[in-house]
Structure 1
Amino acid sequence: MTLRQKLLLVALCTLALPVAGWLYVRQMETLLREGQAQALVASARAMARSLVVVDAPLPPAGPAWYVQPSNVPITIDGYGDDWAPLSPWAQPLGQHARLMLAEDSHWLYFYVDVRAGQRRRADAGDRLALTADHLIVSIASGDDAQRYLLASAAPGPTTAIALDPEAGVLPDRINAQWQEDGGGFHVEFRLPRGLRLDHFGVGVHLAADGDPEPLTADNRPLLDFSPALSQELSRLAPDGVRVRVVSPDGWLMAQSGKLALPDQPLAERPGWFASLIYRSLVATRLDDAGAWAEDVPRIDLPEVRRALEGKPSTAWRVGEARGSVVLAAAMPVTIRGKLHGVVLLEQPSRAVPLLANRALFGLLIVSFGVLLVAGGVLLLFATRLTFRLRRLRNAAERAQDNDGRLDGPFPLTDATDELGDLARSFARLFEVVGGYTDYLRTLASKLSHELNTPLAIVKSSLDNLDHAGLPAEAEPYLARARDGVARLGALVRAMSEASRMERAIAAAEAEDVDLAEIVRGCADGYRVLAGGRRIDTSLPDEPIRMHVSPELIAQALDKLFDNAVSFTPADGWLRVTLSPTPDGADITLANQGPSLPAAMQGRLFDSLVSLRDKATPGEAPHLGLGLYVVRLVAERHQGSASACNIEGGVAFTLHLKGMARQRLA
């Protein structure tokens, strides 16, 4: 991983800032909602107490039968077609039946649906009616009460017979319709609203159950929507809040207000994106909108169920309008320890989502702004640091490419930070290495100069010994001494020559030439010197114009050719290749012959290094200056020299970039 990537990773750690801000906004939103919920719970508690204090017509404690309003008259035919809109709120009646009650301006309607797999039939007037399938209907109005026996031996019209003595205005019989299907029977009848019934009871008795009490009925008070209680709620309800009173069975008894949001400028209303952000990232415990928002007769909500258990409860839901929420608070209404219902307050609002969204967006904008600034600063810092490190690296590589000598001043030595300390340490190190390298470069010329006088003394001494007339047995030793002096003299001359070549190469002048013509001319001249060896050339069709020294290039090729011929068999091959590169050109001379030892490939171009066999007495020694000259020529052209093994031979390559152009004063 690069330094820039590491600093970018560090910059990404600043993402913890928007995450922390998001958590803070969520906590803030939770606190705002808790505060609003506590305020609405306090309002619901105050309203519940007020309803008790003003003696409002609250529903009675305990279970009751709820009478639902009907918009159209119901036909009494024993079938449930007219009751279909009310069937979702049918009230259970024992284990096998359900009851529905409805009312209009004139009548109270009753519908009993009984599920029975086995049937025993008898008319109400039959003495066996109490042992057959029958219903016991009980009605009460004030102090008057009456029970009726309802049974039928066949589907169709039937009459419910009174079981008790005459009870005031209550009728002595009820006309009904009895219908049957494969799973049971249905009973439908109606009573005038003028009876002012306040209690109703019904008992389902099936002969198959063996009921020991065939005259019992489940008596409960009758409840319906109360306009008087609704009017009382309208006086007590806070503004902008819908208030509903629910009976202990969950039936809607009264209602005041609507879920209407206050008028708000269109520009301040949250859009779909803000609403999505609020619901996805900020809001917690937010239920979806459902039947709670509709005018249904029975309200079955979690907060209402908890309130019916005697525990105040709140809930948050998504509002009908985009970007709104609804807070519901349910408070039980108790009188002398008995539960008489629940007060349900519902308050729509855009304030909490709007405040949370504004805080979140503001915080996110600031956080991402800080993140971008921090990332940009770190990126600039990483770029500058990388650039300075690359300058140090390039200076070190230039020093290494130039055999330890610095190419100009070392960079960043005047910097005051840690990189400046590192640059100064490198500068001191390369100054010492450069001085030692310069000493080694001049060592050969110094040694050659210092060794000339001792060699002359030794040589003259050997000449004097030869004239002195030595014994015959000493002649071989004298010859070997002369040969050693000759070899030592050749080494001294070679060292002097190497120093002269370095100075000559450094002083060579360059010109713009076609490098392909130089290589082609050299290759043509080598064919005469190659003997039986084959020379192949691979040159580009287009000229390669470069600023080079033609004499140095030819000298380097001569050294490479001389080296290649000495290792190539008499019938072998040589190949000269010139190829352009993005920054110069490569000249390769390959020859057939033995491979290079792996340990010597890095030292071939050093001075006085040779792979040829040691010379025999009387022959001139191979001093290993040819490839050293090749390296000096390559470096003079801002390039390098390399050697590698190829299939069946060896390849030596000159990597040239051209000589630097000198500026005219």
Structure 2
Amino acid sequence: MTLRQKLLLVALCTLALPIAGWTYVRQMETLLRDGQAQALLASADVVARSLVVTGAVSPVTGPTWYVQPMPGPITVDGYGDDWAPLTPWSQPFARRGKLLLAEDDDWLYLYADVSDIQRTRADADDANALAADHLILTLENAAGRRRYLLASAAPGGLVARPLDPAVDGLPDLITAQWQEDGSGYRVELRLPRALSLRALGLGAYDAAYGGDRMAADTRALVDYSDKLSGELARLVPDRVQARVLSSQGWLLARSGRLNSAAGADGQPGWFASLVYRSLLATRLEDANLWSQDVPRLDTTEFAEARAGRSVSVWRSGEERGSVVLSATVPIKRAGRVDGVLLLEQASRSVPLLANRALFGLLLTSLGVLLAAGAILLVFATRLSLRLGRLRNAAERAQLGDGRLDGLFAQGRFPMTDAADEIGDLARSFERLFEVVGGYTDYLRTLASKLSHELNTPLAIVKSSLDNLEHAALPPEAQPYLARARDGVARLGALVRAMSESSRMERSITAAEPEDVDLREVVRGCADAYRALIGKRRLDCVLPDAPLSLHCAPELIAQALDKLLDNALSFTPEQGWLRLSLRASADGAEIELANQGPLLPEAMQGRLFDSLVSLRDKATPGDAPHLGLGLYVVRLVAERHGGVASARNLDDGSGVAFTLQLRGMSRLRLGG
């Protein structure tokens, strides 16, 4: 991973800032909602206590029948068309019956639907009417209770037969409508509200199953109370909707409406609403469970309040971008729950404030993230460029033989004036290369110094040996004298070779370039070499077109002489050599390949160093070999801006030495 990628990874760590901010905003939104919930629960508890003190909620024990209000009269015909809006809230009775009760200003309406596929028919006046399928209707007022038999042998109108003696205030005659089909029968009737009924009972007898023929489920009647609604309106706070529910969840009173209109702060857009619901308010209940128009609620919160526990819940509002806080508290009297009070308050301020805080945080975090990323990117880019300059300078500073590059020799190492750690590293490199350069210069001049210092002792030893030859020496001393003279000759050859090497480096540096056709230089060398290689075969491969290069032709010929001398040492008597010239992208390449042993892998990179040789050690009397030939080849290649290299041939038949030349620089005269 590059330095720039690492710094980019560090920049991504700043993403922790918006995440931490989002967590903070969410916690603040939760605290804000909890505060509002506690306040609304306190208000609901106060209102519930006031309803108990004023006695506005009548205590009801046991099950009840709920009478739903109707805006207009119902046609009593035995069909359920007028009852369709109320059907979802029908109340079960008997074994398979459903009961609906409704009222308007004058009448109390009753609609009973009984499932019965095996019918036993009889009219109410028949003697065996109680043995047939029938309904038992019970009416109760302050004076007493009276039962009625409803039965019919055919669809149409019927008259209920009283089963009990007359009771003041209760009718002697009740008319009803009976309709039936294959699934069962339906009975519809109406009673005057002037009867002031306290309870109503209804039972269904199925002759196919038997049972108690006179059984009826009698319950107290409860309905929506305008009086309780008015009392509730005086107690609840402003902009709060209140509902009083019976212990079974039926609506007894209601006041106020949810204020979901857009306030002064405006209305959140669809995107802001989506962000709030997705990222902040993740605990919103479904609004359909708390509909304002249903006569009965059956939610988890209502069940907890009915069990005596106060609870609050946030739910989605009916309008976009709104939320509703609902608080349910029990209405207790003497330890008994008589009903449940539900307070609801719509709010747009919570989503608006939370969204504004979140969007502000996101914008700030995005700006900080972009700024930090840009700064780190600029810093990483600058740091990468500086390190690249340092690397390039270090690679250029030292050539293959330890000599320093000309650019570094003329000036200081780059970025040594910087005050940071990279400046310290550059100064360390500069000191290192100064030490290496000084030691390399010492090694390069050591040969010439040694040759100069050794000349005088060698002359003394040689003159002494010459004097010994004229002296009378015993015969047994003659071999030692010959060995001494041979050693002096070898030392003299070494000194001359070292001197020659120093002079050769100076001559290579001082060579004057010119524009020449390399084909003629290589062809001339090849023609001259054929007379020197004996029985060996020499092939010369040249390009068809002239290959011009600004170079020193005598140096190139000298390098080829060294390469040929080296190749002849390893090429068999019947072997082959191949001298080739070809153009390259930035100059020319000269290659001399020969048949012979392959190069060791460990020596391929060191062949062109000074005093390195693969030839066998010289025997006594032979001229010493110092390994300076290929070193001269490298110097010639570097003088021409190129490199010298050696490799084994792909087919394993021998080796190839290559000179890559780019040409010498042209001198420009100043105006």
TM-score w.r.t. the length of structure 2 is: 0.86
Query: CA 1:446–1:250 in structure 2 vs 1: closer, same or farther (change >3 Å)?
Result: same
Residue number in structure 1 paired with 2:354: 356
1:40 to partner: Cα distance = 1.6
Distance in 1 separating the partners of 2:393 and 2:484 = 50
Residue number in structure 1 paired with 2:578: 574
Deviations 1:520-557 (A, max 9, x none): 33332343225663546476979787x76555455444
Residue number in structure 2 paired with 1:629: 632
Is 1:441 the counterpart of 2:444 in the alignment? yes
Asked whether the equivalents of residues 59 and 247 of structure 1 are also in contact (C-alpha less than 8 Å), the reply is no
1:187-226 alignment to 2 at 5 Å?
187-207=187-207, 209-211=209-211, 213-226=212-225
Stretch of structure 1 that moved more, 440-449 or 140-149: 140-149
Taking every aligned residue pair, what percent have the same amino acid on both sides?
Answer: 66
Which SS does the other structure have where 1:486 is aligned?
helix
Which SS does the other structure have where 1:287 is aligned?
coil
1:631 to partner: Cα distance = 2.3
Deviations 1:484-532 (A, max 9, x none): 4333322221211211222233344557x58xx43x3333234322566
Deviations 1:584-637 (A, max 9, x none): 776555444322101212221111212234456665444321221222234445
Give 2:290's aligned amino acid: W
Is 1:370 the counterpart of 2:375 in the alignment? no
Is 1:500 the counterpart of 2:503 in the alignment? yes
Distance in 1 separating the partners of 2:58 and 2:312 = 22
Distance in 2 separating the partners of 1:641 and 1:198 = 120
Residue number in structure 2 paired with 1:227: 226
1:33 to partner: Cα distance = 0.5
1:25 to partner: Cα distance = 0.7
1:24 to partner: Cα distance = 0.8
Residue number in structure 2 paired with 1:426: 429
Query: CA 1:17–1:618 in structure 2 vs 1: closer, same or farther (change >3 Å)?
Result: same
Query: CA 1:101–1:503 in structure 2 vs 1: closer, same or farther (change >3 Å)?
Result: same
Distance in 2 separating the partners of 1:140 and 1:443 = 135
Query: CA 1:23–1:219 in structure 2 vs 1: closer, same or farther (change >3 Å)?
Result: same
1:30 to partner: Cα distance = 0.4
Query: CA 1:201–1:482 in structure 2 vs 1: closer, same or farther (change >3 Å)?
Result: same
Give 2:170's aligned amino acid: L
Residue number in structure 1 paired with 2:290: 292
Distance in 1 separating the partners of 2:68 and 2:13 = 63
Asked whether the equivalents of residues 579 and 590 of structure 2 are also in contact (C-alpha less than 8 Å), the reply is no
Residue number in structure 1 paired with 2:657: 652
Deviations 1:348-407 (A, max 9, x none): 221111111121222222233333333333334433443443344334323443543444
Distance in 2 separating the partners of 1:589 and 1:61 = 119
1:175-574 alignment to 2 at 5 Å?
175-207=175-207, 209-211=209-211, 213-264=212-263, 268-401=266-399, 403-407=401-405, 408=408, 409-466=412-469, 481-508=484-511, 517-518=517-518, 520-528=519-527, 529-530=529-530, 533=537, 535=539, 537=541, 551-564=554-567, 566-568=569-571, 570-574=574-578
Give 2:243's aligned amino acid: R
Which SS does the other structure have where 1:67 is aligned?
strand
Residue number in structure 2 paired with 1:643: 646
Asked whether the equivalents of residues 148 and 173 of structure 1 are also in contact (C-alpha less than 8 Å), the reply is no
Distance in 1 separating the partners of 2:621 and 2:169 = 159
Give 1:93's aligned amino acid: F
Give 1:229's aligned amino acid: L
1:264 to partner: Cα distance = 3.5
The count of aligned residue pairs is 657
Distance in 2 separating the partners of 1:37 and 1:560 = 98
TM-score w.r.t. the length of structure 1 is: 0.87
Distance in 2 separating the partners of 1:142 and 1:62 = 18
Ranges in structure 1 where 5+ consecutive residues have no aligned partner: none
Asked whether the equivalents of residues 122 and 153 of structure 1 are also in contact (C-alpha less than 8 Å), the reply is yes
1:122 to partner: Cα distance = 4.4
1:565-604 alignment to 2 at 5 Å?
566-568=569-571, 570-574=574-578, 576=580, 578=582, 580-581=584-585, 588-604=591-607
Give 1:245's aligned amino acid: V
Distance in 2 separating the partners of 1:116 and 1:588 = 113
1:579 to partner: Cα distance = 5.2
1:88 to partner: Cα distance = 1.4
Distance in 1 separating the partners of 2:669 and 2:231 = 108
Asked whether the equivalents of residues 289 and 299 of structure 2 are also in contact (C-alpha less than 8 Å), the reply is no
1:65 to partner: Cα distance = 1.6
Stretch of structure 1 that moved more, 323-332 or 192-201: 192-201
Stretch of structure 1 that moved more, 243-252 or 550-559: 550-559
Which SS does the other structure have where 1:22 is aligned?
helix
Give 1:170's aligned amino acid: L
Which SS does the other structure have where 2:633 is aligned?
helix
Distance in 1 separating the partners of 2:155 and 2:328 = 47
Distance in 2 separating the partners of 1:269 and 1:550 = 90
